[in-house]
Amino acid sequence: MFEGRFPELLIIFVVALIVLGPHKLPQVAALVGRWLGNARAMARQFRDQLEEESQNLQRAATDKAAAAPMTPPTPQPPVSSDSATTDSPPHERGA
């Protein structure tokens, strides 16, 4: 789409000059520059807040993992070999 090549920027500048006129174009350019600056500042602030929250969540997860006591796994009851063979159908090879 728009890649910001010089001919495209030149066409945009000429159209803006025709539409706005030579007296209003610097004022509009300054206004657009302020809007872009504010938008960048808000995006930077938003990104910083997201990174801070991500670090807080990671820190909380590592603190929680470090604070949890290590408990051995509970032993499972042994499985009887008789019940396993009676419930499953016999397997035949070949046929």
19-54: pLDDT as tens digits: 989 899 999 989 999 999 999 999 999 999 999 999
The rounded percent of the chain whose pLDDT value lies above 90 is: 36
Query: What would the two tokens of residue 77 be?
Result: 């009851």
pTM value? 0.49
Looking at residue 60, the DSSP 8-state letter turns out to be: H
Q: Taking CA 87 as the corner, what is the angle to CA 82 and CA 90, rounded to the nearest 5 degrees? A: 95
* pLDDT higher than threshold 70 for residue 3: no
For the chain, report the end-to-end CA distance as a whole number of angstroms.
Answer: 66
Residues 6+ apart with CB under 8 A from 16: 25, 28
Residue 95 pLDDT = 54
Place of tokens 């500048």: 13
Query: What would the two tokens of residue 22 be?
Result: 């030579």
